[in-house]
Structure 1
């Protein structure tokens, strides 16, 4: 049984309390940062989808080939990455790459990254061929709110802060963070939800490794974008509205 189910009676009130504590800061932090939009050219597109029959335990990642295959290849072997959920922790996944397989001591696949989504989210980059060695290691994801939105934030080796927004689901590289009107938010990726099945990620890979973009986006998919209170979605997920069906 996932540990979140055991802790849920305790954590749900804490999540609500944290959402309430965010409110005064939201009202006191009104400013208009400068936005640099995500360009249309030189943007890669990937789709992350639940594997059939796995529930939410396995997600596969495919290249959409610039949108020509919006749901990925018809051949499951063409997946680029896959995420496998921990049995013990609902928000914990290991990320594997199709280009790095059979490297374990007994020929087993070894993860290229590990993620943990929740009130203390993080991404551990273990191997990312397209990323500088300095990016390998832990990336702690924090929470922040202002009058504009709520965010999941982390820092990369270049010293910049990166944040996933709740509105629009943008990944922004933030220059002059916290400097209000002097703050510049450069949009380098965006997530488009695919219902309950996953999401499509558009990302400028010259700005961030795709492994980090995918891993941090999955954290937000699990804990940020699936709740009405913008925090603690793994404990306080949005419930689908039940509408009675009838024939007109």
Structure 2
């Protein structure tokens, strides 16, 4: 049988309904304005939505508008740069890779004559980021760009090339030029190096081509970058 104290509730020190979830007496919560609860709910939802918005772009897979090939040198013809040094006669394809998160390919091209003071080396790297949008890290540069150590402030924005592009000089001279382009999930990195060269042979010096100035070199690199992007763009 149930004893009288249980029926009368004399064993209860405080009813559960009188205790708030945070341990505060319910009577204290009753003193708050009626609109307190909906305001608290809205504030909590706003914090949650703000966090989702901040990470939403990174959680969305970027659009891939390009492809990578087994031999990137087949597409890296670089006619504008080649015309400055009499052709790019050597090519060095580098094995790329395929991964569920990232595809990449790399190529090196060389031409001209260092003895005549117009040697030129060109390298290109293509990365396809398939899981996370590279926009947030793009200004910091790819690992290939950071390897060359182009100082901050030496980068200039290039309009009309991909969604975002920067060009810069890693060193203190005009002998090297770098270009980075981002378009969707694709990141392109180009590096051009000129070899001034020297020779005591008068015949060689007489054949020496005029050294490309910075403006012409920049225009040629941008033109060849655009051509490579067009060649790799999906139909």
Common fold, TM-score beyond 0.5? no
Give the TM-score, by structure 2 length: 0.28
The structure having more radius of gyration, on CA atoms, is: 2
Instruction: Using structure 1 for the length normalisation, give the TM-score.
Output: 0.27
Q: Give the structure with the larger helix fraction.
A: 2
> Larger % of strand: which?
1
